[in-house]
A and B are shown apart, each in its own frame.
Chain A
Amino acid sequence: MSNRLRIGIDVGGTNTDAVVVDDAGQVLASTKTATTPDPSDGIRAALDDVIATIDRKHITQAMLGTTHPANAIIRRRDLDKVGVLRLAAPSSLAISPGMAWPADLHETVIGASAILRGGFEYDGTEISKLDEDGIREFALLCLGKVNAIAVSSAFAPASTDHELRAIEIIREVTNGAMAVSLSHQVGSLGLLERENATILNASLFGLARKVVDGFQLALQSHGLDVESYLTQNDGTLMTSEEAVQLPILSVGSGPTNSMRGACALAGLTDALVIDVGGTSADVGILVSGFPRESSAAVEVGGVRTNFRMPDLISIGLGGGTIVSDRNGQVTVGPDSVGYRVVTEAIVMGGSTLTLSDVAVRGGRLNGFGDPTLVDSVSAETIGFALEWVDEQIGILCDRMKLSRTAMPLIAVGGGSHLVPNTVSGIADVIRPEHFAVANAFGAAIAEASGAVDRVYRYDSMGREASLEEAKQMAVDSAVRAGADPDSVRITSVTEVPMSYLPGQGCRVQVKAAGPLKG
């Protein structure tokens, strides 16, 4: 046994999973417990169980992936009040902060807002001189009214000066009593979306502090003196300090951990992953071990944001999906009995024909209920339903792929028995061991990362030199985040040419990642 072990914990909507993994990526212990109303209870229970047979002095790191923040936003609970400060005037006055927010979330979160002079042009010059007095006034106005201030300035991803000056002023005026979130740390280009993400981020400060403290307390109470991390949307790690500053970056970590975990369990770095549950199937793709990110704006709790989220396509296809046969007219879904499939499926003695029954009769699922109970269903119905499943899965995979090249498909989740062994355009269908704890495994193997998102002018600097600079900045940033300098690698490079912009303007996004330094 290797002497450096990691614990991965994933708090999902239904289950809290934990694994202990060694350096070689072997699962030494795993457990699945129910998620509790106070998620810390579930975390403690999972820890109890998973380290029972492990020599805890070999454990050096613990990684947590959690749905706390996502749930808080969706349920509008445990959110802090935020003062919204935009530095862009006179630009952007036509659209107020929080304009497109759902009314209930707006009321819960946004306590005050102002658009002040400041921000930058695309070429790095100031839109206007920063309104420092205005910032002082706003900070004082916010005292006692809100818990945190979200600051967003125009072109902050390229020019951070005004945001950095704003935080200085706010700290000075409030004697450090006001928490502040800066947009350039949260999101990329797109002022309104980045501002939204920054507001949500600031509203999660209090909750994030509780989650991080709870996690560390749970580790300590189990005698684990280890480094602790939280996983973020892109499958990489945040330290506890970063996690309390940037909690919004963890809202999409569940599906990412699931996909990365499944892929690593299958021993692959490039593959499609399909997660079939009771009600729906999600397909994503991993390239060099990381999920491809969505290019479309991502909505969180009804708010449009632009931060990094895995690109997933979902359809209503799961083990509980209802199959109906009206006089030979067979339809599949979109209704589902969901998790109640264990009692409502015909093979379980229930009365609803589901895709699980179809899978049993079609020979794809064994050891689930009594197969003789579905004998009466016509072979045509079964054939039609399976054909539908195969077609839908084929279409999903095709939409996710990058090219015609055949790729492996990893099937996980309680309904993954529905995935046929051959899918067109798919090289292999792989069903990894331990897939039930893929999420926690994904958390345990997460790496440190760094990212760069800037606009270059290829005519002045040249494409090669621009890309080289961006890559070096990403690598440096990953190393600062704790990655081992010897094994950091570039995981993605995206160039988006900017139409109508002079000087061959090009937006360059680069990411680098590497395993944590030991």
Chain B
Amino acid sequence: MRELTLEDLDDMVLGATLLGTGGGGDPYIARLMVRQAMEKYGAVKIVDPSELDPDGLVLTTAVIGAPTVIIEKVPAGTEFTGCVNALAAYLGKEPVALMPIEVGGMNTLIPLATAAEMGLPVIDADSMRRAFPQIEMTVFTLAGIPAAPMSVADEKGNVVVFETINNSVAEKLARASVMQLGMANGISCYPMTVKQVADYGIQGSMSYCVDLGRKLNAVKRGEECAFEEFLEFSGGQKYFSGKIIDIDRRTTEGFARGTVVLEDLVDPDRVMRVEIQNELLMAFEDGKPVITTPDLICFLDYETSDPITTETLSYGQRINVLGLPCAPEWHQPGMLELVGPRAFGYDVDYVSMKGIAT
């Protein structure tokens, strides 16, 4: 068990931004929510599954909607407690802990604010340990755990709970509800037992996020060997140091897609192309894939080492391109069909990062 302090929160926000791989929503609003909730209700406990009753119910909560709406229709808090309570009532059981679905971007933090308010601990696990654009893109889908029954709630008290036959229908129904409920809502899905979390979840995600952020903060402060320690901790690798020479954005089917081209800072003949679908998904050098989803592509500012989100990319930016291996729990049958390059429409093979157990 660890108690999350306001200082941890700073590290967690940085870690969450990095794990957002360029997307995942700006954690700024979520961070303010957590601060207010912790000031009002006290600190939040992060617990390991082994500390809880294996049969206890774990519920997730996250924000679902459009980032551009969320900045204007700021959360009330009740959309998250609302969807959690509704799902608990439907299941006829009280949760023993909350869990993030997505440790990456703003959804890393939402369950902390809700947990503070509900007086529940947050279990140290998740289902992505990075940001992905759709609800079914989780290790739970690989384990055959259904996303439904799930609930979507707004801040006014409207709630929908539904059952679905598979996780991609769940995704469609959730999006359709959100459209009618103001595009900034709470969602609770993948209800499961503590034992299921321990067996099928990505373990230690919250701690990983805080520690990753802490190590990146050390890099930002220019501490000696900090970058080496950061790479060692994350198993990551620097693939490219370049300058953006071209950027092309387009929106199709609700996704912010784009292509970024970087030129090596020293050798202008070396060029990297990175493909975006909300998140940074694929990196190619000389036409050959070098970092591929579900491994993480992270852009860090060349000077400050701040993670860079896709909305703020612009010509001339100097960037270090890092590859971070995805959580080891991803490596199981079905991964590539669900979140590999072809799942996003890229007709290339997944390239495993060195030293990663598959």
Closest to B35 in A: A99
Alpha-carbon gap, A128 to B32, bound state (A): 24
In angstroms, how far is the closest chain A Cβ from the Cβ of B85? Answer: 15
Chain A 369-404 residues near chain B, CB threshold 8 A: 395, 398-404
Alpha-carbon gap, A496 to B113, bound state (A): 30
Among A92, A191, A500, A501, the most chain B Cβ lie within 10 Å of the Cβ of: A500
Given A122-B182, A295-B314, A497-B251, residue A94 in contact with residue B33 (CB < 8 A): yes
Whether A91 contacts B184 by the Cβ 8 Å rule is yes
Closest to A153 in B: B72
Whether B68 contacts A499 by the Cβ 8 Å rule is yes
Q: Which residues of A contact B243 (CB under 8 A)?
A: 398
Alpha-carbon gap, A155 to B69, bound state (A): 9
Closest to B265 in A: A395
Given A121-B73, A504-B251, residue A94 in contact with residue B113 (CB < 8 A): yes
Query: Would you call B273 an interface residue if the criterion is a C-beta within 8 Å of the partner chain's C-beta atoms?
Result: no
Whether B71 contacts A191 by the Cβ 8 Å rule is yes
Closest to A497 in B: B251
Interface size class of A (residues with CB under 8 A): 35 or more
Closest to A455 in B: B68
The 8 A CB mask of A117-142 against B (1 = contact, 0 = none) is 00101100001100000000000000
Whether A190 contacts B71 by the Cβ 8 Å rule is yes
Q: Which residues of A contact B142 (CB under 8 A)?
A: none
Query: Would you call A100 an interface residue if the criterion is a C-beta within 8 Å of the partner chain's C-beta atoms?
Result: yes
Chain B 203-255 residues near chain A, CB threshold 8 A: 243, 245, 249-251, 254-255
Whether A128 contacts B156 by the Cβ 8 Å rule is yes
Whether A154 contacts B73 by the Cβ 8 Å rule is yes
Alpha-carbon gap, A512 to B256, bound state (A): 28
Whether B78 contacts A499 by the Cβ 8 Å rule is no
In angstroms, how far is the closest chain B Cβ from the Cβ of A440? Answer: 31
Whether A191 contacts B315 by the Cβ 8 Å rule is no
Chain A 85-107 residues near chain B, CB threshold 8 A: 88-96, 99-100
Whether B66 contacts A95 by the Cβ 8 Å rule is no
Q: Which residues of B contact A190 (CB under 8 A)?
A: 71-72
Whether A500 contacts B66 by the Cβ 8 Å rule is yes
Q: Which residues of B contact A37 (CB under 8 A)?
A: none
Q: Which residues of A contact B65 (CB under 8 A)?
A: 500
Whether B73 contacts A88 by the Cβ 8 Å rule is yes
Query: Would you call B353 an interface residue if the criterion is a C-beta within 8 Å of the partner chain's C-beta atoms?
Result: no
Whether A93 contacts B76 by the Cβ 8 Å rule is yes
Alpha-carbon gap, A127 to B184, bound state (A): 12
Whether B76 contacts A90 by the Cβ 8 Å rule is yes
Q: Which residues of A contact B184 (CB under 8 A)?
A: 91
Given A99-B32, A154-B73, A190-B72, residue A501 in contact with residue B316 (CB < 8 A): no
Whether B72 contacts A191 by the Cβ 8 Å rule is yes
Whether B155 contacts A398 by the Cβ 8 Å rule is no
Whether A399 contacts B251 by the Cβ 8 Å rule is no
Given A99-B32, A122-B183, A127-B182, residue A498 in contact with residue B66 (CB < 8 A): yes
In angstroms, how far is the closest chain B Cβ from the Cβ of A73? Answer: 21
Alpha-carbon gap, A507 to B76, bound state (A): 24
Q: Which residues of B contact A502 (CB under 8 A)?
A: 179, 254
Whether A93 contacts B78 by the Cβ 8 Å rule is yes
Q: Which of A92, A191, A398 contacts B76 (CB 8 A)?
A: A92
Among B28, B68, B311, the most chain A Cβ lie within 10 Å of the Cβ of: B68
Q: 26 A-B pairs, CB-CB below 8 angstroms? A: A91-B76, A92-B75, A93-B77, A94-B37, A94-B74, A99-B32, A100-B32, A121-B182, A121-B183, A122-B183, A127-B182, A189-B68, A191-B72, A296-B312, A395-B318, A398-B243, A398-B316, A399-B316, A403-B315, A497-B251, A499-B67, A500-B65, A500-B67, A501-B68, A501-B183, A505-B68
Which 5 pairs show the lowest CB-CB distances between chains A and B?
A497-B251, A92-B74, A94-B77, A500-B66, A499-B256
